Amino acid sequence: MVEEQLRTRGIHDPRVLRIMAAVPRHLFVDPTFANRAYSDHALPIGQEQTISQPFMVALMTQALGLEGDEKVLEIGTGSGYQTAILTELADRVFTIERIPEIGIPAQERLTAMGYTNVVFRIGDGSLGWREMAPFDRVIVTAGAPRVPSFLEEQLRIGGCCIVPVGDASNQSLVRVTRSEEGLKEQVLCSCTFVPLIGREGWSSGEPG
Protein backbone atom coordinates (compact mmCIF):
# COMPACT_ATOMS: atom_id res chain seq x y z
CA MET A 1 0.00 0.00 0.00
CA VAL A 2 2.71 2.48 0.99
CA GLU A 3 4.95 1.86 -2.01
CA GLU A 4 2.30 1.47 -4.73
CA GLN A 5 -0.46 3.82 -3.61
CA LEU A 6 1.21 6.49 -1.49
CA ARG A 7 4.88 7.11 -2.33
CA THR A 8 4.36 7.01 -6.09
CA ARG A 9 1.47 9.51 -5.83
CA GLY A 10 3.25 12.27 -3.95
CA ILE A 11 3.20 11.26 -0.30
CA HIS A 12 6.77 12.03 0.74
CA ASP A 13 6.65 12.89 4.47
CA PRO A 14 8.68 10.05 6.03
CA ARG A 15 6.72 10.19 9.29
CA VAL A 16 3.41 9.83 7.44
CA LEU A 17 4.74 6.95 5.33
CA ARG A 18 6.12 5.18 8.40
CA ILE A 19 2.86 5.44 10.35
CA MET A 20 0.72 4.46 7.36
CA ALA A 21 2.84 1.32 7.12
CA ALA A 22 2.51 0.60 10.83
CA VAL A 23 -1.21 1.11 11.62
CA PRO A 24 -3.17 -2.07 10.75
CA ARG A 25 -6.10 -0.77 8.64
CA HIS A 26 -7.75 -4.22 8.58
CA LEU A 27 -8.59 -3.81 12.29
CA PHE A 28 -10.77 -0.79 11.44
CA VAL A 29 -13.07 -2.52 8.93
CA ASP A 30 -15.62 -5.30 9.22
CA PRO A 31 -13.85 -8.70 8.88
CA THR A 32 -15.77 -9.32 5.63
CA PHE A 33 -13.78 -6.44 4.07
CA ALA A 34 -10.41 -7.36 5.61
CA ASN A 35 -9.07 -8.70 2.31
CA ARG A 36 -9.65 -5.24 0.76
CA ALA A 37 -8.25 -3.23 3.67
CA TYR A 38 -4.97 -2.38 1.90
CA SER A 39 -6.45 -1.48 -1.48
CA ASP A 40 -6.92 2.23 -2.12
CA HIS A 41 -10.65 2.38 -1.53
CA ALA A 42 -13.10 3.83 0.92
CA LEU A 43 -15.05 0.95 2.54
CA PRO A 44 -18.42 0.83 4.34
CA ILE A 45 -18.39 1.09 8.15
CA GLY A 46 -22.18 1.03 8.65
CA GLN A 47 -24.78 3.80 9.03
CA GLU A 48 -24.08 4.76 5.37
CA GLN A 49 -20.58 6.01 6.35
CA THR A 50 -17.13 5.02 5.13
CA ILE A 51 -13.52 4.62 6.22
CA SER A 52 -11.61 7.00 3.93
CA GLN A 53 -9.28 5.68 1.22
CA PRO A 54 -5.66 5.37 2.43
CA PHE A 55 -4.33 7.87 -0.13
CA MET A 56 -6.73 10.56 1.09
CA VAL A 57 -5.85 9.83 4.74
CA ALA A 58 -2.15 10.16 3.89
CA LEU A 59 -2.66 13.30 1.78
CA MET A 60 -4.69 15.08 4.48
CA THR A 61 -2.27 14.04 7.20
CA GLN A 62 0.73 15.23 5.18
CA ALA A 63 -1.03 18.54 4.46
CA LEU A 64 -1.44 19.13 8.21
CA GLY A 65 2.38 19.29 8.53
CA LEU A 66 2.45 17.67 11.97
CA GLU A 67 5.71 17.79 13.91
CA GLY A 68 4.65 16.01 17.11
CA ASP A 69 3.69 18.73 19.59
CA GLU A 70 0.31 19.76 18.15
CA LYS A 71 -3.16 19.73 19.67
CA VAL A 72 -5.46 18.48 16.90
CA LEU A 73 -9.23 18.57 16.44
CA GLU A 74 -10.68 15.87 14.18
CA ILE A 75 -14.30 16.12 13.05
CA GLY A 76 -15.70 12.78 11.87
CA THR A 77 -14.08 9.97 13.89
CA GLY A 78 -15.61 7.29 11.67
CA SER A 79 -13.79 4.00 12.18
CA GLY A 80 -11.00 5.72 14.11
CA TYR A 81 -8.35 4.90 11.47
CA GLN A 82 -7.45 8.53 10.73
CA THR A 83 -7.61 9.20 14.48
CA ALA A 84 -4.99 6.50 15.08
CA ILE A 85 -2.68 8.04 12.47
CA LEU A 86 -3.09 11.49 14.07
CA THR A 87 -2.45 10.25 17.60
CA GLU A 88 0.84 8.74 16.41
CA LEU A 89 2.00 12.03 14.85
CA ALA A 90 0.64 14.72 17.20
CA ASP A 91 0.65 15.38 20.94
CA ARG A 92 -3.10 15.23 21.60
CA VAL A 93 -6.17 14.55 19.48
CA PHE A 94 -9.76 15.60 20.21
CA THR A 95 -12.19 13.73 17.95
CA ILE A 96 -15.93 14.18 17.44
CA GLU A 97 -18.35 11.74 15.78
CA ARG A 98 -22.03 12.51 15.17
CA ILE A 99 -23.29 8.90 15.11
CA PRO A 100 -22.95 6.99 18.42
CA GLU A 101 -23.22 3.58 16.68
CA ILE A 102 -19.94 4.48 14.92
CA GLY A 103 -18.20 6.66 17.49
CA ILE A 104 -18.52 4.36 20.49
CA PRO A 105 -17.02 1.28 18.73
CA ALA A 106 -14.22 3.51 17.42
CA GLN A 107 -13.44 4.65 20.95
CA GLU A 108 -13.47 1.05 22.21
CA ARG A 109 -11.21 -0.02 19.33
CA LEU A 110 -8.61 2.69 19.90
CA THR A 111 -8.65 2.17 23.67
CA ALA A 112 -8.10 -1.58 23.18
CA MET A 113 -5.19 -0.76 20.85
CA GLY A 114 -3.57 1.27 23.61
CA TYR A 115 -4.03 4.84 22.35
CA THR A 116 -4.19 7.19 25.33
CA ASN A 117 -3.64 10.69 23.89
CA VAL A 118 -7.11 10.96 22.37
CA VAL A 119 -10.36 12.40 23.77
CA PHE A 120 -13.68 11.29 22.22
CA ARG A 121 -16.97 13.08 21.93
CA ILE A 122 -20.31 12.15 20.39
CA GLY A 123 -22.05 15.19 18.93
CA ASP A 124 -22.16 17.78 16.19
CA GLY A 125 -18.59 18.69 15.27
CA SER A 126 -19.63 21.30 12.70
CA LEU A 127 -19.39 23.83 15.54
CA GLY A 128 -15.92 22.69 16.60
CA TRP A 129 -15.20 22.07 20.30
CA ARG A 130 -15.13 25.46 21.99
CA GLU A 131 -14.23 24.19 25.50
CA MET A 132 -11.06 22.52 24.21
CA ALA A 133 -9.94 25.29 21.82
CA PRO A 134 -7.63 26.66 20.58
CA PHE A 135 -6.29 23.93 18.27
CA ASP A 136 -3.03 23.92 16.31
CA ARG A 137 -4.58 21.80 13.59
CA VAL A 138 -8.12 20.87 12.53
CA ILE A 139 -9.07 18.07 10.15
CA VAL A 140 -12.61 17.61 8.87
CA THR A 141 -13.23 14.20 7.32
CA ALA A 142 -16.72 14.92 5.93
CA GLY A 143 -17.76 17.28 3.13
CA ALA A 144 -18.76 20.73 4.43
CA PRO A 145 -20.91 23.24 2.52
CA ARG A 146 -18.36 25.99 3.31
CA VAL A 147 -15.21 26.59 5.35
CA PRO A 148 -16.40 26.23 8.98
CA SER A 149 -16.81 29.60 10.70
CA PHE A 150 -15.64 28.26 14.09
CA LEU A 151 -12.07 28.31 12.75
CA GLU A 152 -11.99 32.07 13.25
CA GLU A 153 -12.15 31.46 17.02
CA GLN A 154 -10.90 27.93 17.58
CA LEU A 155 -7.90 27.63 15.24
CA ARG A 156 -4.71 29.03 16.76
CA ILE A 157 -2.94 31.80 14.81
CA GLY A 158 -0.28 30.03 12.76
CA GLY A 159 -2.38 26.86 12.59
CA CYS A 160 -4.15 25.22 9.68
CA CYS A 161 -7.25 23.17 8.87
CA ILE A 162 -7.82 20.63 6.11
CA VAL A 163 -11.46 20.41 5.03
CA PRO A 164 -13.39 19.10 2.00
CA VAL A 165 -15.77 21.82 0.80
CA GLY A 166 -18.55 21.51 -1.76
CA ASP A 167 -21.66 19.48 -2.53
CA ALA A 168 -22.03 15.76 -3.24
CA SER A 169 -20.79 15.99 -6.83
CA ASN A 170 -18.11 18.66 -6.60
CA GLN A 171 -15.84 18.95 -3.56
CA SER A 172 -12.43 20.56 -3.15
CA LEU A 173 -9.93 19.67 -0.45
CA VAL A 174 -9.04 23.03 1.08
CA ARG A 175 -6.19 24.03 3.41
CA VAL A 176 -7.19 27.00 5.56
CA THR A 177 -4.38 28.82 7.37
CA ARG A 178 -4.96 31.40 10.08
CA SER A 179 -2.65 34.40 10.47
CA GLU A 180 -2.99 37.77 12.22
CA GLU A 181 -4.69 38.98 9.03
CA GLY A 182 -7.37 36.27 9.09
CA LEU A 183 -8.11 33.02 7.24
CA LYS A 184 -6.50 32.18 3.89
CA GLU A 185 -7.71 29.30 1.68
CA GLN A 186 -5.75 27.12 -0.74
CA VAL A 187 -7.35 24.37 -2.84
CA LEU A 188 -5.25 21.17 -2.80
CA CYS A 189 -7.26 18.83 -5.06
CA SER A 190 -10.75 17.56 -5.79
CA CYS A 191 -12.23 14.88 -3.55
CA THR A 192 -15.43 13.06 -2.54
CA PHE A 193 -16.54 12.68 1.07
CA VAL A 194 -19.79 11.80 2.83
CA PRO A 195 -21.59 14.97 4.02
CA LEU A 196 -20.85 16.88 7.19
CA ILE A 197 -24.28 16.95 8.82
CA GLY A 198 -25.01 19.51 11.51
CA ARG A 199 -25.80 23.10 12.38
CA GLU A 200 -22.89 24.47 10.32
CA GLY A 201 -23.03 21.57 7.87
CA TRP A 202 -25.79 20.09 5.73
CA SER A 203 -29.16 19.18 7.17
CA SER A 204 -29.75 15.44 6.81
CA GLY A 205 -32.21 15.81 3.92
CA GLU A 206 -30.01 18.12 1.85
CA PRO A 207 -27.88 16.97 -1.11
CA GLY A 208 -24.57 16.93 0.75
Task: Please say which residue, 76 or 166, places its beta carbon nearer to ligand SAM.
Answer: 76
| Whether 52 is catalytic | yes
Dihedral of alpha carbons 189, 191, 197, 201, sign: positive
Distances (CA, A) of 113 to 50, 87, 117: 21, 12, 12
Task: Please say which residue, 52 or 87, places its beta carbon nearer to ligand SAM.
Answer: 52
**Which residues neighbour 70 within 8 Å (Cβ) at sequence distance 6 or greater?**
64, 90, 91, 92, 136, 137
Q: To the nearest whole angstrom, how small is the minimum distance from the Cβ of residue 181 to ligand SAM?
A: 28
> Is residue 62 part of the contact set for ligand SAM (CB under 6 A)?
no
> Is residue 193 part of the contact set for ligand SAM (CB under 6 A)?
yes
> Is residue 99 part of the contact set for ligand SAM (CB under 6 A)?
yes
DSSP-H helix ranges across the chain: 14-22, 54-64, 81-89, 100-112, 151-154
Task: Please say which residue, 167 or 184, places its beta carbon nearer to ligand SAM.
Answer: 167
Report the distance separating Cα 41 and Cα 55, nearest Å: 8
Of positions 54, 63, 71, 79, contacts ligand SAM by CB under 6 A: 79
Of positions 13, 70, 88, 97, contacts ligand SAM by CB under 6 A: 97
> Is residue 208 part of the contact set for ligand SAM (CB under 6 A)?
no
Instruction: Report the interface residues with ligand SAM, using CB under 6 A.
Output: 49-52, 75-76, 78-79, 81-82, 96-99, 102, 124-126, 141-142, 193-194, 196-198, 201
* Residues annotated as catalytic (active site), given as ranges: 52
